[in-house]
């Protein structure tokens, strides 16, 4: 039987979902988040509530259980409001290789388009081959590399810059 997933915008009522999955994701995959474990642990609930109220965070669900989270932010100014930026993007490993990541991405792309974007952009750790393969599979192209993008545990790490056009419907 195929597992079915749904994705949707998270609201302040989803605070516990957001905080649980972000904590899990940062613990398991520190290279997939900007914040580190200490910053996550020290983020006040009020701060997360206000980000959730800004309608920039999304979740993917397997039946009623949240199994992944993502962020999507639009360019703020007239000259860049056609650009959507994605991140973070995390799916519980129990749901890898299924439709969870694609379902979450589809919702981000649809939302980006509804909000006026013509392209969606992201940065991914150059040493994250699974995520890079996923992004290429779903239409992202590498357009650059940021040297020393992140500094973690005493070492610098490069990011790949990727972009995917959003087709007009
Ligand atoms: C990135 C992520 C959301 C993708 O979801 P997923 O369910 O794992 O993605 P999929 O299984 O559909 O696609 C991954 C692809 O990478 C391939 N892959 C796995 N390991 C790989 C490796 N070491 N090298 C190259 N390709 C690899 C898989 O075979 C698969 O391709 P296929 O479908 O053609 O076989 C998920 O892996 C995740 O949450 N990772 C941890 C957090 C993270 O890194 N987020 C990205 C931050 S930018």
Residue ranges covered by each domain of the chain? 5-165
Q: Which residue is closest in CA terms to ligand 1's atom 34?
A: 137
86 lines ligand 1 (CB under 6 A): no
User: Which pLDDT score, from 0 to 100, does residue 32 have?
Assistant: 95
- The single-letter DSSP state of residue 104 is H
149 lines ligand 1 (CB under 6 A): no
Cα–Cα distance measured from residue 48 to residue 75, given in angstroms and rounded to the nearest whole number: 20
CA of 88 to the centre of ligand 1 (A): 14
Domain topology for 5-165: Aminopeptidase (3.40.630)
CA of 168 to the centre of ligand 1 (A): 27
The per-residue pLDDT of the chain, averaged, comes to 96
User: Which pLDDT score, from 0 to 100, does residue 130 have?
Assistant: 98
Per-residue CA distances from 117 to 69, 95, 108, 121, 149 (Å): 20, 28, 11, 10, 25
User: Which pLDDT score, from 0 to 100, does residue 3 have?
Assistant: 87
Q: In the chain, which residues have pLDDT < 70?
A: 1, 168-169
């Amino acid at each position: 039987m195929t597992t079915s997933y749904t994705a949707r915008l998270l609201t302040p009522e989803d605070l516990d979902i957001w905080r649980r999955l972000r904590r899990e994701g940062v613990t398991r995959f520190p290279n997939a988040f900007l914040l580190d474990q200490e910053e996550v642990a020290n983020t006040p609930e009020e701060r997360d509530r206000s980000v959730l109220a800004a309608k920039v965070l999304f979740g993917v669900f397997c039946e009623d259980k949240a199994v992944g989270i993502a962020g999507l932010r639009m360019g703020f100014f007239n000259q860049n409001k056609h650009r959507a930026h994605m991140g973070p993007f995390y799916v519980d490993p129990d749901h890898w290789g299924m439709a969870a990541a694609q379902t979450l991405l589809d919702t981000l792309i649809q939302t980006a388009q509804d909000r006026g974007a013509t392209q969606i952009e992201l940065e991914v750790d150059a040493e994250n081959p699974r995520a890079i393969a996923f992004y290429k599979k779903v239409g992202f192209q590498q357009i650059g590399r940021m040297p020393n993008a992140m500094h973690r545990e005493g070492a610098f790490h490069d990011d790949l810059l990727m972009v995917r056009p959003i087709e007009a419907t």
